Structure 1
Amino acid sequence: MHPDSIAETGRVPHGGEPDRSLLDFSANINPQIPDGVETVYADALERARRYPDDTYPVFREAAAEYVGCTPDAVIATPGGLAAIRLSLECTLEAGDTALVPYPSFGEYAREVRLQGATPAFVPHDDLYDLGVSHLEQADLTVCCRPNNPTGDCPSSERLEAFTERCRDAGTTLLVDEAFLGFTDRPSMASRGFEHVVVARSLTKLFGLPGLRAGFAVATGDLGDRLAIARRAWSLGTPEAAVGAHCMRDRAFVRETRSRVDAERERVRTALLEDGRYDVFDSVAPYLLFESTEPVDDLLERARAAGVVLRDARTFRGLDRHVRVAVAEREANDRLLEVLCDG
């Protein structure tokens, strides 16, 4: 991290509502958690009276099975954002340039700036069409699949071709797959490219954002650098145990994907049929839309009805947009009552 950049870099707004009396659609968190989490956590809490095994063999093996890589390529981190920061710390220097998609997760640009580097913004869908000559001008490129907040995801073929152009350009590629687990698309971690880092979050799919667990996947010299630079004891014993347990619950993942797919399409169809909302297509557990109603009025009206929406104007390039999470059917029904009948 570059000391001089800290004072010039602010915080980034996120979703999440502390008032539990309100229905929170501002954060994209699975409302369900896998069976057995409480027992696993309680057992691990007793073991937490000793330092964890800093090699995290059980967690890394579960992560490797989960994304289709080898355990030695897994670097345990306290959440997906920690994997992103570690990747940038190991690849960027002051004065470097990183290509950052927009609209997309605001932490990318902030983390780039904290390294003393400069974010060069590219429309998120145009990013995958950049040629080698353009990529050569950047030291690192970030991509988000599915993109947050739009919810779209490049095809495997398009991403593969883009990844190869990054390699030809000598540009490191950081792939944020925080929400990929909600889809059946394969992880880039399974491809083993030595110029690619994959960042994964466990907290969203498994409904446990307060347990900070995630990991990076990297191979070759890049993987070695991340493994060496990683903080010691980067996961607590309970987080490592719960994370491994969740990643091995394949039935939970399948059920979640099926439920989210069905509810997302149901909510999207209802919003489009209402006529006041222009809704983006999405493969993620959230929907982005424009409304004919002013955003401030919509946010205020929804909150008065006990529903919290995400003001998407905080994303670069968006000025009339709102994002909503896909929750369970009963909660989604209430959302539609507020948006379509209010």
Structure 2
Amino acid sequence: MEPDAVRRVGREPHGSSDDPDVVDFSANTNPRVPSGVRDVYADALDAARTYPVEPPRAYREAAADYVDCAPGDVVATPGGLAAIRLAVEVSVTAGDDVLVPAPSFAEYAREVRLQGANPVFVPHDEVLDADPDEYALAVVCNPNNPTGECYDADALRAFADACADAGTTLLVDEAFLGFTDQPSLAGRDGVVVARSLTKLFGLPGLRAGFAAATGDRYERLAAARRTWNVGAPALAVGEHCMRDEAFVADTRRRVREERARLRDALAERFAVAPSDAPFLLLDVGDRGVEEVVTRARERGVAVRDATTFRGLDSHVRVAVRTREENDRLLEALDV
């Protein structure tokens, strides 16, 4: 990191509530977890009495099967954001320009600034039309957060090819791709994929994820990665979760059905953006974001104030949870 930049760059706001008296729709995490997680975690505590195996072979093999790449492409990280930071650190130097979608996850721009580099914001739905030759790194969030839509798979692959031809690393954040049937770009030359396990598997406090890349990009990630950067319980639980194909399939089905039901109901009162993700972006219009957020909170529901995303001024974001919880959201929003 660039020392002067570290002193200048602040924190970014995020969703999530630790209030036990509210249902949290502000964070996009699965309300369910795979069966057996508690036992796997408990068993891993014995393994935590020694340092984890380096590199974590079983975890890498599970991750490779999960996204259909080679185990040798996988770099374990403590969460998806750690994978994003690692990719930026090994790809960007002070003064570089980096292509960043907007509105999108604010941590991309923060990580770029921490390197002393310059985020160049492009509308998220135009990012694949940009010329990658102008940037040291290009970032894509698929599906995009907070808008929710996946990019066309063919167009994304074409952009990845254009980045490779230009010698520009493409960082694809696939934190929510596991909720969809779209294939990962893991294993594609010139691409660094960042994956979070905490969203799909409902374990945000576990801090488990990985990056995937090939060739020189993999070598740089692997060299820069801290030794023993993921603890034994997280490795064990992460491996267990990625192997649970039935849980993934059931989650995708439930989210798809509940998202459609929520979207139809919410569209009677708000403008709702199309989404392939486990969340929906609502334009609340004249009702005002503060009023909507406060009123929902008074009724025991936390929703995300999305005005903290670049370019949004009248929006909230809501997660897709269980049917019963979603009904409570609709009631809290007067739908």
Which TM-score applies when normalising by structure 1? 0.97
Aligned length: 334
| Deviation of 1:103 (Å) | 0.2
Counterparts of 2:240 and 2:79, CA distance in 1: 16
- Which one of the candidate residues 276, 281, 288 is aligned to 2:274? 281
Name the structure 2 match of 1:197: 192
Counterparts of 1:296 and 1:216, CA distance in 2: 37
Please state whether the residue corresponding to 1:340 is helix, strand or coil.
coil
| Deviation of 1:194 (Å) | 2.6
Counterparts of 1:168 and 1:210, CA distance in 2: 38
Residue 331 of structure 1 pairs with residue 325 of structure 2: yes
| Deviation of 1:137 (Å) | 1.3
Q: Given that residues 86 and 230 in structure 1 are in contact (C-alpha distance below 8 angstroms), is that contact kept between their aligned partners in structure 2?
A: yes
| Deviation of 1:339 (Å) | 1.2
Name the structure 1 match of 2:226: 231
Please state whether the residue corresponding to 1:261 is helix, strand or coil.
helix
**Cα deviation digits, residues 137-184 of structure 1 (max 9, x gap):** 111000000000000111111101111111122211000000000001
Please state whether the residue corresponding to 2:94 is helix, strand or coil.
coil
Q: Given that residues 271 and 340 in structure 1 are in contact (C-alpha distance below 8 angstroms), is that contact kept between their aligned partners in structure 2?
A: no
Structure 1 residue runs of 5 or longer lacking an equivalent are none
| Deviation of 1:109 (Å) | 0.1
| Deviation of 1:195 (Å) | 1.4
Counterparts of 2:227 and 2:123, CA distance in 1: 37
Counterparts of 1:194 and 1:225, CA distance in 2: 14
Name the structure 2 match of 1:104: 104
Matches within 5 A, 1:286-305: 286-292=279-285, 293-305=287-299
Name the structure 1 match of 2:183: 186
Counterparts of 2:151 and 2:323, CA distance in 1: 28
Name the structure 1 match of 2:307: 313
Q: Which amino acid is 2:33 matched to?
A: I
Q: Which amino acid is 1:153 matched to?
A: C
Counterparts of 2:291 and 2:144, CA distance in 1: 26
Which TM-score applies when normalising by structure 2? 0.99
Name the structure 2 match of 1:153: 150
**Cα deviation digits, residues 6-48 of structure 1 (max 9, x gap):** 1110000000001111111000010000010011001101110
Counterparts of 1:263 and 1:228, CA distance in 2: 43
Percent identical residues: 61
**Cα deviation digits, residues 37-79 of structure 1 (max 9, x gap):** 0110011011101111121000000000000000000000000
- Which one of the candidate residues 316, 324, 328 is aligned to 1:322? 316
Name the structure 2 match of 1:68: 68
Name the structure 2 match of 1:24: 24
Q: Which amino acid is 1:35 matched to?
A: S
Counterparts of 1:160 and 1:170, CA distance in 2: 15
Please state whether the residue corresponding to 1:126 is helix, strand or coil.
helix
Q: Which amino acid is 2:203 matched to?
A: L
Please state whether the residue corresponding to 1:216 is helix, strand or coil.
strand
Residue 214 of structure 1 pairs with residue 209 of structure 2: yes
Please state whether the residue corresponding to 1:173 is helix, strand or coil.
strand
**Cα deviation digits, residues 186-230 of structure 1 (max 9, x gap):** 0001xx333110000000100000000000001001101111110
**Cα deviation digits, residues 67-110 of structure 1 (max 9, x gap):** 00000000000000000000111111111110000000000000
Counterparts of 1:46 and 1:185, CA distance in 2: 37
Counterparts of 1:302 and 1:66, CA distance in 2: 37
Q: Given that residues 150 and 287 in structure 1 are in contact (C-alpha distance below 8 angstroms), is that contact kept between their aligned partners in structure 2?
A: yes
Q: Which amino acid is 1:294 matched to?
A: G
Matches within 5 A, 1:255-270: 255-270=250-265
Q: Given that residues 194 and 221 in structure 1 are in contact (C-alpha distance below 8 angstroms), is that contact kept between their aligned partners in structure 2?
A: no
Matches within 5 A, 1:164-179: 164-179=161-176
| Deviation of 1:285 (Å) | 0.2
Please state whether the residue corresponding to 1:181 is helix, strand or coil.
helix
Counterparts of 1:301 and 1:15, CA distance in 2: 17
Structure 2 residue runs of 5 or longer lacking an equivalent are none
Q: Which amino acid is 1:318 matched to?
A: L
Counterparts of 1:168 and 1:218, CA distance in 2: 16
Q: Which amino acid is 1:242 matched to?
A: V
